[in-house]
Structure 1
């Protein structure tokens, strides 16, 4: 396809602004490691919230949603919509705890919560495991989406896309650090959202689709519209709704939706001005991420079922795309080729923005692990601030090169999402409990991490998995695989917890004194400290978790009702749309009251 001068103008101006921001903040960002990775902990909630939204709007996200909608319908998105519960638990319970910890990375938490060699091993291992291996895999999925977009829309070879997109991203990431990432995210958010909404509006109204009414009545689309799964379809109900809502949200670790917070979400909470800014940022992110942002992608995915009903039709329209890269996720890029001049440039800029935002965040976050949790801890504890920033910039470049190489070997984003989800299965409960139950120790996490990974590899990459879990021929139904991984992993780490020694009194008391987690899970530690005349309670603050859980439940009602209402307004189903809008308004009012009670607890 040919780009016009106007299209190129949009893209060139956008690139210039992004690089300009990176250069502008580079001097201050390079002053010390705190500035480079946390921007001096001075960020306001609205800027951090926008940054979280921009970061999770990646080039692979609309592709993933398109793949889900074309394969399982709109209701298939419950596989990630269920993580809203995790997100709001982070907002109303864990955000203030993370900000109180004042650590540089969430991995530094390990040596604050646990002690001795196991804690040091856990921090070092996860710095490499998450900061390098897991991070590279995640970035490769994002880069794979960029490769597919470049191939479909611009006819670029994979290596051409990787070099052109990656070079600019790694340049401003290495120069600007965290501040550069957050400042550019502000721009990237509006460009990305504008492009997504503009594309959805135009593509739903092209002649082949015929407008929203014709779209929802089309035979290829009518069976895909339900927001809730078909309750008469047992398998769909279990896999797309029951497992995500009943098990997956608390049991699985996944980047950006970690139970108890973590990763780049924790990095932004740690960079906030104070606890209230950390809470405000994460709540704003969850509203935008779940309630509003998916619908433009969903509409394009539904429209693609009219224009390209199957993979064969995509291949026929784009014969130059390698068969190894073909998949339903390609339909999103295929639809964008139908955009007119001007809007095409804006949408391409928005996709570039989505790519750059996610990759820059992953690079800075992964680099922070390498610098604080590996290099400074294991290699050179007395390294100067200038040296730490230099290592941060070098590791940023290395991570980009590794992820680009892996992206060239991948085929499908949904496959990777399933594998990543399985690798974290069964570990999530630890991340929730470790703040509020004294008995969790370093061996709990070490055991869970290895058990989940090993069991996932056995089920995913050996004949045992297909033998045990297959739709028709397996010993168990295929949807039981995830439950088995969760159940076995949980049983193993619980056994390890009680078979190993608890953390020392000194470690537990120091943690309690700093964080003040409260609750019955720490009563043994508090009572023993009082008996030894050691004062570890230093605040009159009430235990805010009950209020936080109430706010979490009300927040779920608020955001899900907004999400449902938006869908029904788009579908033209006025009655349920009005009812859900009223429910959203009432739950919003109740949430404000619950939030005010939480603030009273903090004060």
Structure 2
């Protein structure tokens, strides 16, 4: 890599600005735990939306997209595109419910919705399970991508990348808290977008690539272009399209795509000024995340097939990269080495921005679990605000160290993505229904969590997978793993739900009175409350779920249409692009009408 003085000025100038933001807001962020983790619940929708988008940029995301495109073609992205349905459900149904709950973390919800020792255990266990274990795995995947980028583009040893990338991130995260994260995300978003778009434009037009038309006509690319899988290939259709759209989006828990909201998405909704700002933030995030952002990465991935048609060619070009780090995902970093000075500095800064945004969010979110849902609940119930902020800062550092150590032992981002999907398979339906069905209790979630995790581990570490899913001799086809875990997990948690006692009347009525979820799933609780002359229904509030589901479907059509229209405009398929653009206009008009109905129901 020929990195010039201009590139270094851009990169170190960016570092200085981000650190300055963390230092600037550190005094106010340290005043209380609410300021440190939720910025006093005063954030506007546009700032929170940009923060969500910046967070999900991540250094591992372009690597993952590149791996998917090079392995399965553009249609391979349906593995994560399907979570748009989850996102739209969160926007138009769950965003206002989360904001009305007024909890500090989404785990505090457990003791609002459930009661007794089971609810307390669930909250504390998931604080460690999600805040530490899952969080560290997610951050290590992001850091692994940084290691690969540092190795290919800068020739850095893995430990050097980990120390350099992690040190600045953990300093400004620990100092600035949530406000520092969100404010810096505003800058990080624009830097990351500029880098991604600039890199795609330059690399597609390299002489050895030859532009869009040359890519489309290239023999290595022709069978990778389709947005939908080959309909004559039954296995591809089931694996890449049917399973994600029919099962995966609602059944799997995945960071950033949790059914019913959750994680750092919930943290931002809880920090919003009000319910309408929570809805606006999540909608803005989804339209940016799915409709506009994937194509620069996809174009670089397609161009990489022209320059580096296989892993051997990548290895030949970069012989110093360790063999255990080789994979199709390296092609993205390999292409970036061809950028000129200036643009290279912007792209390197954008990759640093993506890394810092994701890691800082994960650190602050995971730390909030440790402080509110474990430390204050289990260790020190009388903790002062200062003590909670100090524990938050300490846990931020510890989480960073653990994720860095794990990243040094990892190899491939797509394997981590699939493992996380398996761990959460079958649990998603609970997160959707628990707001609207009174019978779900704490034991429903406990059994779902353990059964899906145990099944995933068994299938990863024993010969059970080969016995069940071997394409030649197994009981099920090889694409059946996720549905298998989902079905077994669902049977287990439904059984647990009906053999255990429901939550007490006091717990259920208190939850209903605060949230006003409405719907037939709560009719038994409402009827019993009326019989006991207990007033739990707010007659002024309309049940917005039917309008929300209508808006969700229109939102899905709108955003997929924008995404696909963009692709077909790029491919030069004008007729399809025009048809989809018309669909965008019509669905957009209908969505505005449905959205207005939802706004009218929000007090």
TM normalised by structure 1 equals 1.00
Aligned to 1:84: 84
- Give the C-alpha shift of residue 459 in structure 1: 1.3
Paired residues for 1:95-114 under 5 Å: 95-114=95-114
In the alignment, the residues of structure 1 paired with residue 405 and residue 582 of structure 2 have an alpha-carbon distance, to the nearest angstrom, of 50
Q: 1:299-332: per-residue Cα shift (whole Å, max 9, x none)?
A: 0000000000000000000000000000000000
Aligned to 1:313: 313
In the alignment, the residues of structure 1 paired with residue 467 and residue 9 of structure 2 have an alpha-carbon distance, to the nearest angstrom, of 55
In the alignment, the residues of structure 1 paired with residue 551 and residue 244 of structure 2 have an alpha-carbon distance, to the nearest angstrom, of 21
SS of structure 2 residue aligned to 1:127? helix
Q: 1:532-564: per-residue Cα shift (whole Å, max 9, x none)?
A: 111001241111000000000000110000000
Aligned to 2:254: 254
In the alignment, the residues of structure 1 paired with residue 206 and residue 539 of structure 2 have an alpha-carbon distance, to the nearest angstrom, of 62
In the alignment, the residues of structure 2 paired with residue 342 and residue 221 of structure 1 have an alpha-carbon distance, to the nearest angstrom, of 29
User: 2:385 aligned with 1:347, yes or no?
Assistant: no
- Give the C-alpha shift of residue 602 in structure 1: 2.0
Aligned to 2:45: 45
Aligned to 2:178: 178
SS of structure 2 residue aligned to 1:108? coil
- Give the C-alpha shift of residue 20 in structure 1: 0.4
Paired residues for 1:223-262 under 5 Å: 223-262=223-262
Aligned to 2:409: 409
Aligned to 2:215: 215
- Give the C-alpha shift of residue 569 in structure 1: 0.4
Aligned to 1:397: 397
- Give the C-alpha shift of residue 471 in structure 1: 2.7
- Give the C-alpha shift of residue 468 in structure 1: 1.2
The answer on whether the counterparts of 2:66 and 2:301 sit within 8 Å (CA) in structure 1 is: yes
TM normalised by structure 2 equals 1.00
In the alignment, the residues of structure 2 paired with residue 377 and residue 168 of structure 1 have an alpha-carbon distance, to the nearest angstrom, of 31
Give ranges in structure 1 of 5+ residues lacking alignment.
Answer: none
Paired residues for 1:290-329 under 5 Å: 290-329=290-329
**Which structure 1 residue ranges, 4+ long, deviate > 6 Å from structure 2?**
none
SS of structure 2 residue aligned to 1:537? coil
- Give the C-alpha shift of residue 2 in structure 1: 2.4
Q: 1:399-432: per-residue Cα shift (whole Å, max 9, x none)?
A: 0000000000000000000000000000000000
In the alignment, the residues of structure 2 paired with residue 66 and residue 276 of structure 1 have an alpha-carbon distance, to the nearest angstrom, of 36
The CA RMSD over aligned residues, in Å, is: 0.6
Aligned to 1:371: 371
- Give the C-alpha shift of residue 598 in structure 1: 1.1
The answer on whether the counterparts of 2:204 and 2:300 sit within 8 Å (CA) in structure 1 is: yes
User: 2:514 aligned with 1:525, yes or no?
Assistant: no
SS of structure 2 residue aligned to 1:149? helix
In the alignment, the residues of structure 1 paired with residue 243 and residue 263 of structure 2 have an alpha-carbon distance, to the nearest angstrom, of 24
The answer on whether the counterparts of 2:276 and 2:602 sit within 8 Å (CA) in structure 1 is: no
Q: 1:87-110: per-residue Cα shift (whole Å, max 9, x none)?
A: 000000000000000000000000
SS of structure 1 residue aligned to 2:149? helix
Aligned to 1:154: 154
The answer on whether the counterparts of 2:254 and 2:424 sit within 8 Å (CA) in structure 1 is: yes
SS of structure 1 residue aligned to 2:109? helix
* Count of residue pairs the alignment pairs up: 603
Q: 1:53-78: per-residue Cα shift (whole Å, max 9, x none)?
A: 00000000000000000000000100
